[in-house]
Amino acid sequence: MEEKLRISAARRATLLIFLVCGIGLSSWAPMVPFAKIRLGLNDADLGVVLLALGAGAILTMPVTGLLINKYGSRTVAVVSALVIASLLPLLLLAGTAYELAAALFVFGAGIGSIDVSMNAQAVVVQERYGSHIMSSFHGMFSVGGLIGSIGLGFLIKAGLSPTYAAIAISALLVVITFTQSRYLLPHSEEAKMDSTSFVLPKGPVILLGIMCFILFLAEGSLLDWSAVFLQFSRGFDPSFSGLGYAAFSVAMAIMRLTGDGLIHRLGPAKVVFYGTLLAGAGFMVAVLIPPAIAALVGFVMVGLGAANVVPIFFTAAGRIPNIPPSIALSAVTILGYSGQLAGPALIGVLAEITSLSWALGLVGVLLFFVAFGYKHRD
C-alpha cells in the first residue's frame, strides 16, 4: 500500500511538472506583442529574435540526456523549471533585441531541458505504475498551454502590468515546482532502467525520431499556417482565422486527457495506426473539400487523431533495449522538435512553389506513411 501511494504521488507530481512546462511556454505567446512594441521591432527582426528560443531548446536537448544519466530527471526537471520561472519576467525587461534573444535562448534551454527530463521521469513513473498513463501527462501539458495563454491575459486585464503578470506566473511555477519536487522518483530508480553506458542512438531510435518529426511537423504547420489557410484559401474573416488552431488544440487536449483508456482498450499499435490515418485524413478534408466548415472539421480530425501518437512514441523510446531511456528520449525529442521548428518553413517554401493547399496535403500524406511505418517497424 505504501509503495502504491508513493507511485501515485510521483504520478501527480509529474503531471504538475508537465503543467509547469505548458504554462511557462504558453505564457510567452501573449507577451510577444508587448516585447515587439517595447523594442520597436519589425516583423522580420522579431522573427529572427524568436529563433533564439528554438535554438536554445534544440542545442540543450542532447546535453540534457547526459545530465539525466548523471544526476537524474528529478534534479534536471526542477532546475529547468526554476530557469523557466526566472527568465519569464526578464523577457519583458530586455532593453535591446540582442538582450531579448539572449534571454529567449536561455528560456528555450530551460524548455528543452524540462521537456526531455519530464518525459524521462514520466517513463519511469509509467513503468512503476504498470499501465499506460503517458497520454495524461501530455494532456496536462496541453492544459498548461491553455492556462498560460489565457491566465496572463486575464491578469493584465485585471490591472497588472505585463511584467507583474509575468512575475505572478513565475511565482506560481516556483510554488508548484518546490511543493512537488520531493515526490518525483529519485535517480536511484532511474538507474535500474538506465543501466547501460552511453551509446549513440541507433535504428529504432532514429525511426521513432523521424516519425515524431512528422507528427510535430503536422502540429507546427497548423500553428503557423492554419490561420493563413483559413483567411486566404477559405475566406475566413481575419478575426476568426485563429479558430482552426483553437479547434485543433481543444480536440487534442480532450483526447490526451482521455487517451490512456483508449490505449488500454485498443493497444498502442492500433491507436498509432488509426490515429495517424485519421490525422492524415483530416488534412485531406481541410484542403480538398471547399466549404469553409470542412477545414475546421479537418483540423479537429487532426487533433483527435494525432493526440496520443507522440506519447506512445515517447513510451516506445523509453523501452528500446540497450539504450538508456534518457538518451533515446533526448534523440527522439530533438528530431520531433526539429519538425515543429523547421517544418513550417518548409511548408512555406512548398506553398510558394505550388500552393498552401498542396503543401498541407503533403503533410497528410506523410502521416499516412507514419501509420504504415509504425505498424511494420519491426
CATH number of residue 219's parent domain? 1.20.1250.20
Same structural domain for residues 311 and 357? yes
Q: Report CA torsion sign: 191, 193, 197, 199.
A: negative
Tell me if the pTM is above 0.75: yes
**Residue 43 vs residues 33, 35, 49, 105, 344: alpha-carbon distances, Å:** 11, 12, 10, 19, 17
| Structure confidence at residue 191 (pLDDT) | 57
Residue range 126-142, pLDDT digits in tens: 989 988 898 899 889 88
d(CA 22, CA 176): 13
- Indicate the range of 10-24, 146-160, 182-196 predicted with least confidence: 182-196
Same structural domain for residues 349 and 297? yes
Report the pLDDT averaged over residues 225-237.
85
Same structural domain for residues 162 and 70? yes
Does position 241 have pLDDT exceeding 80, yes or no? no
Model confidence band, residue 196 (pLDDT cutoffs 50, 70, 90)? very low
Greater pLDDT, 179 or 332: 179
Q: Do the domain assignments include residue 209?
A: yes
Share of the chain above pLDDT 70, in %: 94
| Structure confidence at residue 148 (pLDDT) | 83
Does position 228 have pLDDT exceeding 90, yes or no? no
| Structure confidence at residue 198 (pLDDT) | 47
The C-alpha cell at 270 is: 492500433
CB 138 within 8 A of CB 18: yes
What does pLDDT average to over the chain? 87
Same structural domain for residues 313 and 216? yes
Q: Do the domain assignments include residue 19?
A: yes
Q: Do the domain assignments include residue 192?
A: no
**Residue 93 vs residues 97, 173, 373: alpha-carbon distances, Å:** 11, 19, 47
d(CA 265, CA 268): 9
Greater pLDDT, 188 or 115: 115
Query: What type of residue is 344?
Result: P
Last residue of a domain, one of 180, 195, 221: 180
Model confidence band, residue 205 (pLDDT cutoffs 50, 70, 90)? confident
Does position 223 have pLDDT exceeding 80, yes or no? no
Torsion of CA 76, 55, 107, 332, to 10 degrees: -30
Model confidence band, residue 200 (pLDDT cutoffs 50, 70, 90)? low
DSSP element (H, E) containing 72: none
Question: What stretches of the chain show up as alpha helix (H) in DSSP?
Answer: 2-28, 32-39, 43-71, 73-93, 97-129, 134-157, 162-180, 187-190, 203-233, 243-266, 268-288, 292-306, 309-317, 325-353, 356-375
202 in helix, strand or coil? coil
Residue range 289-347, pLDDT digits in tens: 999 899 999 999 999 999 999 999 988 888 887 777 777 888 888 888 888 777 767 88
Domain residues for the domain of 100 are: 2-180
Number of structural domains the chain divides into:
2
Q: Do the domain assignments include residue 185?
A: no
